[in-house]
Structure 1
Amino acid sequence: MFRGVQHINMDAKGRLAMPARQREPLHSQSDGQVVITIDTQAACLVIYPLPEWERIEKDIQNLPALKPAVKRFQRLVLGYATDLELDGNGRLLLPQPLRDYAQLDKKLVLVGQGNKLELWSEALWFSQRDQALLDSGPEAELPAELMSLTL
């Protein structure tokens, strides 16, 4: 399980060092092999251990591709999916098209999401976080799925 919010840096070549607490599960689950793709609902990237991605990829491919919205989703998520491997120092080299999509520069935020990690530019993360806090104020109406949770 990937948890927590961690602030990290990316160098000028597009390399980022995966924090040790995230590196260990990636090595144990997939020998450091990951797939990174775009999130179609936010300007961030999503990092999956390879076995988790293979499960998700199969589910995406089984969607009805004749529906235009499904086809657009498949084209983006599968099209941007990139196989990467942690190097000996626990670093990933992010391809330029992925960096461009998520507007990544030096300061990044890695956000644990259970089975995956999200990678955000720090500025976009703060903006998204602040908006989410505003939208979930006391007057906000929660979906039924959230109302059924016991925290």
Structure 2
Amino acid sequence: MNSFIGTYECKVDAKGRLLLPLPLKKQLSVVLQDGFVLKRSVFQPCLELYPMQEWNAMMQKVNKLNRFVKKNNDFIRRFTAGVKVVEMDNLGRLLIPKDLVIFSQISKDVVLSSAVNIIEIWDKDLYEKAIDDSVVDFADLAEDVMGQVNEDDHGIS
């Protein structure tokens, strides 16, 4: 599993082409040849860029779902809605398809944010709003999510 680091601001042009920042391109260099999958986020109005290896690992989990259970079938349909295979061009740009631009409300200014093994692609204003959300107390959230992890488990304290 790859683990990406960083948050980067960049621009998307009128055709939906996104020039990736050099530090991010360097991190992605080991997975460039396999291409990427771009999809809608489940929880946020942003896009998720999966290196093909990460997408295949996710699909292995999804493929274990029993398709004769309606909620599983509904989940698969919605999870894969709008999924596109994308590749970086010779200039280091990714083309964001129009339907995904509309879904994510991307205008011109974009934030690329590492999310462990994938990259989230946000409209800058929506990203700022999401991370500055005063409704969510990050200290409480961190305690709820990570508070039960002990040093013996993974060295986190």
Q: Is the 8 A contact 1:7 1:109 kept in 2?
A: yes
- 1:75 CA drift (Å): 1.0
Q: Is the 8 A contact 2:12 2:18 kept in 1?
A: yes
**Match of 1:100, SS?**
helix
Counterpart residue number, 1:148: 148
- 1:4 CA drift (Å): 1.3
CA distance in 2, matches of 1:3, 1:72: 33
CA distance in 2, matches of 1:54, 1:44: 21
* Partner residue of 2:51 out of 49, 52, 55: 49
- 1:137 CA drift (Å): 5.2
**Match of 1:31, SS?**
helix
Q: Which runs of 5+ in 2 are unaligned?
A: 150-155
Give TM-score scaled by structure 1 length. Answer: 0.87
- 1:71 CA drift (Å): 2.6
CA root-mean-square deviation: 1.9
- 1:134 CA drift (Å): 4.6
Counterpart residue number, 1:63: 65
Counterpart residue number, 2:119: 117
Change (3 A) 1:148 1:84: same
Q: Is the 8 A contact 2:36 2:51 kept in 1?
A: yes
In the alignment of these two chains, the number of paired residues is 148
Deviations 1:123-144 (A, max 9, x none): 110111111x551255x3632x
Counterpart residue number, 2:7: 5
1:136 corresponds to 2:137: yes
CA distance in 2, matches of 1:135, 1:25: 31
Deviations 1:66-122 (A, max 9, x none): 444433331122232210100011100110111111111101110001211000111
Q: Which amino acid aligns with 2:5?
A: R
Q: Which amino acid aligns with 1:148?
A: Q
**Match of 2:81, SS?**
helix
CA distance in 2, matches of 1:137, 1:88: 40
Q: Which moved more, 1:97-106 or 1:25-34?
A: 25-34
Q: Report % sequence identity.
A: 25
